[in-house]
């Protein structure tokens, strides 16, 4: 009788540490993610959530340990190029250009991807259909975030790295974000989200990064301690 081994995780962070600005930010992180999995990164400002995502996106290398994709170190030549094509990156820098209309800002990314046809439906799902022909300067902050989310859908890559994706979204926008995350996972996609705000994600792994520096006594703490009569 043969025993079926569990599949190798799609993404595996094996004892990973990372430096930023010559200081160690992440210490010996171990995470494994299978298709359909979700990881939520939480922690204080400066604790390393964005650093974690940047490292997964390949902008910086682990100072120790290894990141494995399908069992291969992403730093290996030949692997990194394929791995990068799996990633969809959403950050506070929205890479929206004023030269293009709202629709073209999504189509441009689609074109780079060699795809077409999903830009308009994605904008419509995000509630931006009527603004498709406008220039992005007409968009509010939340609408710009919705445009970024429309890009995620149009490009349609399996691993989503989302840095504070709900910032500036209204309640309906957050619901849409939760919906597209759930749908992406149903199709086997992986989602890694750094967030301070609550986002409803079913059965996620949660990694709470410890604060990098102990909190100093603030002016408010001092006032609390003063016995004012
Ligand atoms: N551009 C940078 N250059 C050098 N060091 C940086 C840079 N950005 C951040 N750092 C350092 O890396 C540490 C981790 O920062 P990071 O941006 O990953 O934190 P974060 O958890 O995403 O914080 P936030 O909740 O504010 O988004 C910070 O404490 C800071 O010292
Ligand atoms: Mg951050």
Which of 18, 49, 63 gets mutated to test ligand 1 (max ligand atoms within 8 A of its CB)?
49
> Looking at ligand 1, which residue's alpha carbon is closest to its atom 5?
21
Q: Is 51 in the pocket of ligand 1 (CB under 6 A)?
A: yes
> Looking at ligand 1, which residue's alpha carbon is closest to its atom 4?
21
Q: In which band, very low, low, confident or very high, does the pLDDT at 171 lie, cut at 50, 70 and 90?
A: very high
- pLDDT of the residue at 211: 87
Q: Is 55 in the pocket of ligand 1 (CB under 6 A)?
A: no
Q: Where are the domains of the chain?
A: 94-155
Answering whether pTM is above 0.85, one says yes
Report whether pLDDT(217) > 70. no
pLDDT mean over 137-163: 97
Residues in contact with 44: Cβ distance below 8 Å, sequence separation at least 6, in sequence order = 209, 211, 212
pLDDT mean over 113-136: 96
- pLDDT of the residue at 226: 62
Q: What is the DSSP string of the chain?
A: -PPPPPPPPSEEEEEEEEEETTEEEEEEEEEEE-TT-EEEEEESTTSSHHHHHHHHTTSS--SEEEEEETTEETTSTTHHHHHHTTEEEE-SS----TTS-HHHHHHHHHHHTT--S-HHHHHHHTT-GGGTTS-GGG--HHHHHHHHHHHHHHH--SEEEEESTTTT--HHHHHHHHHHHHHHHHTT-EEEEE-SS----SS-EEEEEPPSSPPPPPHHHHHHHS---
Report whether pLDDT(228) > 60. no
- pLDDT of the residue at 227: 59
Q: In which band, very low, low, confident or very high, does the pLDDT at 142 lie, cut at 50, 70 and 90?
A: very high
Report whether pLDDT(138) > 70. yes
Q: Is 49 in the pocket of ligand 1 (CB under 6 A)?
A: yes
Q: In which band, very low, low, confident or very high, does the pLDDT at 161 lie, cut at 50, 70 and 90?
A: very high
- pLDDT of the residue at 153: 97
- pLDDT of the residue at 212: 77
């Amino acid at each position: 009788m043969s025993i079926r081994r569990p599949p190798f995780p799609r993404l595996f962070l094996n004892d990973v540490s990372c430096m930023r600005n010559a200081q160690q930010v992440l210490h010996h992180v171990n995470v494994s993610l299978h298709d359909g999995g979700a990881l939520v990164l939480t922690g204080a400002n400066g604790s390393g959530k964005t650093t974690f995502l940047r490292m997964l996106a390949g902008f910086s290398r682990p100072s120790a340990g290894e990141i494995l994709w399908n069992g291969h170190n992403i730093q290996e030549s030949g692997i990194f190029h394929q791995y990068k094509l799996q990633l969809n990156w959403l950050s506070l820098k929205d890479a929206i250009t004023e030269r293009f209309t709202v629709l073209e800002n999504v189509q441009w990314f689609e074109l780079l991807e060699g795809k077409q046809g999903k830009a308009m439906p994605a904008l419509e799902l995000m509630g931006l259909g009527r603004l498709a022909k406008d220039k992005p300067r007409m968009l509010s902050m939340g609408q710009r975030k919705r445009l970024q989310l429309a890009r995620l859908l149009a490009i349609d890559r399996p691993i989503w790295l989302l840095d504070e994706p709900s910032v500036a979204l209204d309640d309906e926008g957050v619901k849409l974000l939760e919906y597209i995350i759930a749908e992406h996972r149903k199709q086997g996609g992986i989602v890694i989200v750094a967030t301070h705000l609550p986002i409803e994600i079913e059965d996620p792994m949660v990694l709470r990064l410890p604060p990098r520096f102990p909190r100093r006594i603030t002016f408010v703490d001092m006032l609390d301690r003063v016995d004012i009569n």
